[in-house]
Amino acid sequence: MRVATWRRWVDGEAFLAVLIWGASFPIVKHGVDSFGPLGFAVVRLIVAIACLLLWLRWRGEALRIERADWPRLAVAGFGAMGLFQILFLVGMHHTTATHSALFLNTSPLWALPISWLVERQRPRLGAIIGAVLGFAGVVAMIGRPEGEARSTLWGDLLTLGAALCWVGVTLIPRPLVRRYGAVPITTWMLIASLVVVSLVGFPETMQSLHEVPGWGAWGALLYTGILAMVGANVFWQRAVQRLGAATTLVYYYLQPGIALVLGAMFVGERIRVTQVIGIMAVFVGVLLAQRAGLQENVPRIAAPVTRRSP
């Protein structure tokens, strides 16, 4: 009963996923600068897939997917997840951290109309207010855009494309995760994305491995490969089953706030008043979206899952 009451306010797995991702931004930046964006993407995908395969073997779970579900899985893996890896890392390399965070956090706004069109579920007023309020909080936290020459229109457009792809990563595999589980579907999606990223980034990967980076870069690779790609993605897909894609994506807004708080705790960075207001706005937006998402998905959660006979 206590767990059910707690989840009315905050979903633990969605929060844990964005906590891992929020802490990983400076770590990813270090890895990208050391390996190169595409080389880093390829090697961390290999690490993540190896961990997932070991987990499946230890649990005795199968990777078998029925033929009728392969088209949806292909779109989710080759299309959404594969393109996200490329657009996110290359876009980060060509724009500033401020622009990257701002454009990536447009995902919940895109999710509202896309979920309405795809799932035929009209978003509740609380979900709309939560998404808009959360984005306003992100703008307040990030502050003024950086005026560095490193920020380019090309990099901003790539990051915006990554935000759209992340909506696909969240929305498209939802029926598959319900049927087969989060770990097998996450494994297949990462395998498909590895194929896509390897086709583009193989030369850069060979060069990065020829010039072996330092221990710090390998530590960044292991953190993002194991925690950010395996743990956080599995937590995220499970949360989508309970809340729906549009509601879960509002949790994405928490990442800049988590980065600010961790920076204040461990690096001694100062948090401005406007950033505190932004963090509060994000939390209120998440709470509103959380309540709306649970109300919308109560029938779906309560209904038993029908398994196909072998």
Give dist(CA 277, CA 71) in Å, integer.
44
Identify which of 60-74, 109-123, 149-163, 294-308 has the greatest average pLDDT. Answer: 60-74
- Confidence band for 294, pLDDT divided at 50, 70 and 90: low
Q: pLDDT for 43-66, tens place per residue?
A: 889 999 999 999 998 988 888 899
> What's the pLDDT score for residue 60?
85
Give dist(CA 295, CA 44) in Å, integer.
37
Res. 177: pLDDT tops 50: yes
Lowest mean per-residue pLDDT among 226-230, 282-286, 294-298: 294-298
Residue-wise DSSP of 107-154: HHHHHHHHHHHHH--PPPHHHHHHHHHHHHHHHHHH-SPP--TT--HH
Lowest mean per-residue pLDDT among 58-72, 188-202, 236-250: 236-250
Res. 191: pLDDT tops 90: yes
Res. 299: pLDDT tops 50: no
Lowest mean per-residue pLDDT among 10-24, 96-110, 217-231: 96-110
> What's the pLDDT score for residue 244?
80
Q: Helices marked H in the chain — which ranges?
A: 2-7, 12-35, 37-59, 70-74, 82-93, 97-104, 107-119, 125-142, 153-171, 174-180, 182-210, 215-222, 232-243, 245-250, 254-266, 273-302
> What's the pLDDT score for residue 144?
57
- Region 113-131: mean pLDDT is 77
Looking at per-residue confidence, does 264 or 49 come out higher?
49
Q: pLDDT for 123-151, tens place per residue?
A: 777 778 888 888 888 888 776 554 444 55
For residue 230 the two structure tokens come to: 């395996």
pTM: 0.74
Give dist(CA 209, CA 221) in Å, integer.
13
How far CA 222 is from CA of 134, 144, 226, 263, in Å, comes to: 31, 33, 6, 21
What's phi and psi for 45, nearest 5 deg? -65, -40
> What's the pLDDT score for residue 303?
39
